[in-house]
Structure 1
Amino acid sequence: MTPGGEGMMQGGRVVALCGGVGGAKLALGLETALGSGPDSERLAIAVNTGDDFEYLGLRISPDLDTVLYTLAGLNDLTRGWGRADETWNFMAALKELGGESWFSLGDRDLALHVERTRRLQAGETLTSIVGDMARRTGIRAALLPMSDDPVRTIVQTPDGALPFQHYFVKHACQPVVTGISFAGADDAAPNPALMQALADPQLSAVIVCPSNPFLSIDPILAVPGIRVALQRTAAPVIVVSPIVGGQAVKGPTAKIMQELGLEVTSQTIAAHYAGLADGLVIDEADAADAATLALPTHVTRTLMRSHADKRQLADAVLDFANTLREAGQARARSAA
């Protein structure tokens, strides 16, 4: 696709695709970098819901909750997931009663799941619920579930298929992965607000956060219409690699790539997003890869250990998108 569109410094919008802790970190950096525009929603964050599942009669949305807690400043920085200042009385009492307890729900976290489930059962959409919770916690960005319809990530293993949370939490990512599928994706409708944002002529950039490509981003792309919308947008699509020096910063990304017969390299990430990405951001540890990649590449520090790191990476990604967009506009003017 050809980059184009209005300059971000003139109030253009940005769409980020993300899931998990790494994606949430960059989403926070982007929100900080963009600030609040005239409508206070310059940033729209499309979040993976393939991880969602039903547990103890409650609807759990792990990636949405991670992004919500992170942007609201409520996340636990030590564990990397859940709420800060958490207590575990509910789970302890449940275990004493012989209840299912392989997935831990903190007492503060439990309130979100109970309220979300209540409102879903009353007929409200997940998008409406998340939007209200985001506003109540002071988040400026628009948090958008990829779909209001159920999509469930299924991990194929030599011993059979596992729902994602069973693979990720119950079995601690130990089974060998032979394939991944997304149940319900073919029948799911994309979030209308996301589709509107991707078609917005004021869209300045689409940022694919450094989330697991297979478990966090592919579920979003599996929802009919989203991949096509990304291919059609005039804004540059920038992918931030989750790989640093041949390893994943967090989670099973590298393990899954190896088990699927893929090299853990920048080249593999670029190939995975072929046809969608206009540019790739890689870490300084992988700087030598830049010369071997077939698409524009920006080298910077991608590890996000502090809030300053998040802001630095967000600024670098937005500047890179701006450069690609201006180059695209120059080519368009030359062709005209």
Structure 2
Amino acid sequence: MTSLNITLLAGGVGGAKAAEGLAKSTYADGLKIIGNIGDDQAFHGLWVSPDIDTLIYTLAERIDRNQGWGLAGDQQNVLNGLKQLGVDTWMQLGDMDFATHIFRTEQRHQGIRAQKITEQIAAANGVNVPILLPTDDVVQTKLKSNGQWLSFQDYFVRLRCQANVEEICYFDYEKASATPESLAAIDSANLVLIAPSNPLLSIGAILSVGDIRRQLQALSKPIVAISPLIGNQAIKGPAVKLMQSLSYRPNVVGVATYYRELVDVLVIDSTDAHHAPEIEAMGIQVITQNIWMRDEAEKVDVMTSIVDEVLKWQLERAS
């Protein structure tokens, strides 16, 4: 294994793919992951952290590969029972998945830090890569549609991303303090990577925690974002539609615009190479390569290649 401290900011399926690629690469030893908590929400009296659980289940090789979330082979007997009792069950939660949510909720009620609860869940699943929370506080991504605020899960799952979005906010971010673990991971990093996650939904919630953003802005080591878009299409999810709604260009230039005050390098797919001059005019270095990650081999190859290219860029810049 190559000794290099890498801190990955990750959310959604794109974040889980990048995490898996790095965790199975020669750069695994120094990897730490800061996950998205903006999607967290209470269901049936239980606190659910979808993106954190997706990271853990993916790294534990327990993820349902077909849908990209939840546990492989899980059933929905509990949800069916709740439905029979007249409960609205639009949020899909599996029977084995409920165990995670019950445990997390019980621990929260005992006053245990969210970071420590996450560490316990990761360890129970055999995950050795540190999964870090940006904050122990509650910060929730909400989207304004027709003058009303929707939770992320209402927008994404219940309404299937069909609502017109006027604004995005990370509720209570002003009150949130960064976890010492996340700040230490950034401070000790030789390289910070931002996964090909939705910038507005997944990464935005992490960056909304003021101490996190300030620590990143003060970092002398490179910060590298991977585009979640190829051409004018999102690899997965509603990124293009949201970017259009919020006046960002729905392509890699829009991604660069969102990150322009933060990142040193943007990795884009080779098919988007013609946008490189415009992005570099913003002061962001561009690396072009294949960024599709359709299977395990591609995840490892893509993430290894990105780190290799960034290290090569650093050497060239220093010479």
- Work out the CA distance in 1 between the residues paired with 2:22 and 2:115: 21
Shift of 1:178: 0.7
- Work out the CA distance in 2 between the residues paired with 1:174 and 1:157: 10
Shift of 1:80: 1.6
Task: Spell out, residue by residue over 1:138-175, the C-alpha distance to the aligned partner (whole angstroms, 9 max, x if none).
Answer: 22211011111000111011241111111111111111
For 2:316, the equivalent position in structure 1 comes to 327
For 1:122, the equivalent position in structure 2 comes to 110
Amino acid across the alignment from 2:213: R
For 2:13, the equivalent position in structure 1 comes to 21
For 2:181, the equivalent position in structure 1 comes to 193
Shift of 1:324: 3.1
Which sections of structure 1, spanning at least 5 residues, go unmatched?
1-7, 331-336
- Work out the CA distance in 2 between the residues paired with 1:36 and 1:30: 6
The match for 1:204 among 165, 170, 190 is 190
Asked if the contact 1:238–1:317 (Cα under 8 Å) also holds between the matched residues in 2, the reply is no
TM-score (norm 2): 0.95
The alignment yields a C-alpha RMSD, in angstroms, of 1.4
- Work out the CA distance in 1 between the residues paired with 2:182 and 2:250: 31
Asked if the contact 1:240–1:280 (Cα under 8 Å) also holds between the matched residues in 2, the reply is yes
Where relative contact order (Cα < 8 A, 6+ residues apart) is larger, the structure is: 1
For 1:277, the equivalent position in structure 2 comes to 263
Shift of 1:323: 2.0
For 2:123, the equivalent position in structure 1 comes to 135
Shift of 1:23: 0.8
TM-score (norm 1): 0.91
The match for 2:275 among 289, 299, 309 is 289
Greater shift in the superposed pair: 310-319 or 135-144: 135-144
For 1:165, the equivalent position in structure 2 comes to 153
For 2:210, the equivalent position in structure 1 comes to 224
For 1:54, the equivalent position in structure 2 comes to 42
For 2:291, the equivalent position in structure 1 comes to 302
The equivalences for 1:51-130 within 5 A come to 51-130=39-118
Amino acid across the alignment from 2:261: G
Asked if the contact 2:40–2:140 (Cα under 8 Å) also holds between the matched residues in 1, the reply is yes
- Work out the CA distance in 2 between the residues paired with 1:87 and 1:222: 35
For 2:230, the equivalent position in structure 1 comes to 244
- Work out the CA distance in 2 between the residues paired with 1:130 and 1:328: 38
Task: Spell out, residue by residue over 1:161-199, the C-alpha distance to the aligned partner (whole angstroms, 9 max, x if none).
Answer: 111111111111111011100111001011211101211
Task: Spell out, residue by residue over 1:12-34, the C-alpha distance to the aligned partner (whole angstroms, 9 max, x if none).
Answer: 21100010001110111011114
- Work out the CA distance in 1 between the residues paired with 2:218 and 2:313: 16
1:155 aligns with 2:143: yes
For 2:303, the equivalent position in structure 1 comes to 314
Asked if the contact 1:36–1:140 (Cα under 8 Å) also holds between the matched residues in 2, the reply is no
Shift of 1:240: 0.1
Task: Spell out, residue by residue over 1:47-77, the C-alpha distance to the aligned partner (whole angstroms, 9 max, x if none).
Answer: 1101101111100001101111111111111
Give the SS at the match of 1:17.
strand
Give the SS at the match of 2:23.
helix
Amino acid across the alignment from 2:81: A
Which sections of structure 2, spanning at least 5 residues, go unmatched?
none
For 1:33, the equivalent position in structure 2 comes to 25
